[in-house]
Amino acid sequence: MSEIPFLKTPEQAAFRDHMETKVAHWLTQWDGVEAIQAGLIGLPLSKPSISHSGASTTPAAVRAAFKSFTTYSLEYGVDLQTLPVRDLGDIQMHPTDIRECHRRIQEGLQALYEQQPHLVPILIGGDHSTSCPSIQAFAARYPGKRIGILHFDAHHDVRNLEDGGPTNGTPFRGLLESGVVEGRHIVQIGIRGFMNSKAYHDYVKRHGVHIFTSRDVRRLGIDAVLDQALELAGDGTEALFVSFDVDVIDQAYAPGCPAVGTGGMNPWDALDALYRLGQLPQVQGIDFVEFDPTVDVRNLTTRMTVQFMLTFLAGLAERLRA
């Protein structure tokens, strides 16, 4: 092929500026041995979604969007290309068995954490049902100790299990009823009106879950909300996990979410929160879930989620630098 003028492989033929590093060229595949600080893991599952969803295609869409982003942020004064982060691949899902998929997520992540005990996982769903087994695996890293959860979402996600088994609406009921986490160590941020039933609101309050609505974020400001959330979730806990359902963002910015709605958080609040959370040593894991690239508009939701992920990593880089 090299003997034919201008005929190159697709990768060779693509434009590349030698003075910038794209995320696609930095966040490379893990060799299975290298000690890394953080790792991207895809959870391509959307069969448990109670509404139509192609969220199983999200990990691939996120990776495809990496070519549009550089590793440098002038806002935070950080270049991620020195941060030891790798793409670890996807957890392989069963074609039809949802509970088997959840078992594979938990078992696969637990084995990974045993091999890489200091890894900060960056999990890309998938629907929100993946958070129950992934947080169970996360909690197993701290035997005999408690974990806290910061849960960004428009929904409580505590639907009953009798009507449909484990779905994208049940992860936090599963965690509460299995005793993986105490309600007083869960803080839900961005919950919206007309998207939850009174029965489920009463359920989380009865279990001691702390709630900050989207209106609270708008009126109090994200910094004040996060101050309180960190104090509550961090009280007596060893580590914090962040579960970020992208439908917490207003529908104007997140058209690719199956459960779009008015009155959600704006992206700047999320960016500020994620950068701050990345800086904190007690935050040891995060997931991004619940958007569907197959219904997205010009990849807006996918690109926004990549920006969220990179901003969290910018905070992590600052954590390590400090």
Domains and CATH numbers, the chain: 21-321 (3.40.800.10)
This prediction's pTM: 0.96
Report residues of the chain scoring pLDDT below 50: 1
C-alpha distances out from residue 63 to 41, 67, 88, 268, Å: 11, 8, 12, 23
Distance CA 156, CA 286 (A): 18
Q: 153 among the known binding-site residues?
A: yes
Q: 157 among the known binding-site residues?
A: yes
Percentage of the chain with pLDDT > 90? Answer: 90
Distance CA 144, CA 174 (A): 19
State whether the Cα torsion 246-127-62-27 is positive or negative: positive
Q: 90 among the known binding-site residues?
A: no
Structure tokens belonging to residue 214: 């989207």
pLDDT tens column, 108-124: 999 999 999 999 999 99
Q: What is the pLDDT of residue 314?
A: 98
292 CB neighbour count, 10 Å cutoff: 26
CA 26 to chain centre: 20
pLDDT tens column, 129-187: 999 999 999 999 999 999 999 999 999 999 998 888 898 888 999 999 999 999 999 99
Distance CA 294, CA 58 (A): 9
Q: 127 among the known binding-site residues?
A: no
